[in-house]
Amino acid sequence: MNALLKVIGIATLVGVLSSCGFHLRGAPSLPENVNTVVIESARAHAPLARALDSRLNIYGLASASGEGAKQTSENINIYLLPEKLDRQLLSVYPSGQVAEYDLIYVVRYRVSFPNKQPLMAQFEVVRDYQDDPDQVLAKSRELDLMLDEMRAEAADIIIRRLSSQAVAALDESE
């Protein structure tokens, strides 16, 4: 009886998920003629460029970065503009010191697909950050870890957007 309930539950879940259009995401779909994603940045050794390079490898996409990267007509070229980190005050302690704020990581980049016009893109990654003046060293390390996490998320967003931007570039040329 218990096994029958499990089978019915799984069948119902599959039916509901498939009827709403849900499907698992695989690797980002890019044009077949693309061999490599070339990463360049306005700042040498930019942390976002390093994060993007490592995330591309996780997604199974070939990457090349820096000035040694060869730009060819078969590559997607991503040029990362300088990153920006803003803070928006959320609350203060009775003493007037900042207690909590939003970290707003702004990413701007230009992507060029083979034989297409470059596309500009921008997005934000936002995190809530609680400051503690009594734990300055620990909070400094936490902020560094949070920034690394935000860069990894930004790299994932860029990679996921590549497929939709590729479709937009193809539609634009037609």
- As averages over each run of 10 residues, the pLDDT of the chain (174 residues) reads 78 68 54 75 88 85 66 78 90 82 93 85 92 75 91 92 72 58
Phi, psi at 149, each rounded to 5°: -65, -40
In angstroms, the Cα distances linking 160 to 2, 5, 53, 55, 137 are: 40, 37, 14, 11, 35
- Label residue 164 exposed, middle or buried (CB < 10 Å: 0-12, 13-18, 19+): exposed
Quote the pTM value.
Answer: 0.73
Q: Which domains does the chain have, with CATH numbers?
A: 28-173 (3.30.160.150)
pLDDT value of residue 173: 56
Under a CB-based contact definition with an 8 Å cutoff, are residues 68 and 44 in contact? Answer: no
Q: Are 31 and 166 in contact (CB under 8 A)?
A: yes
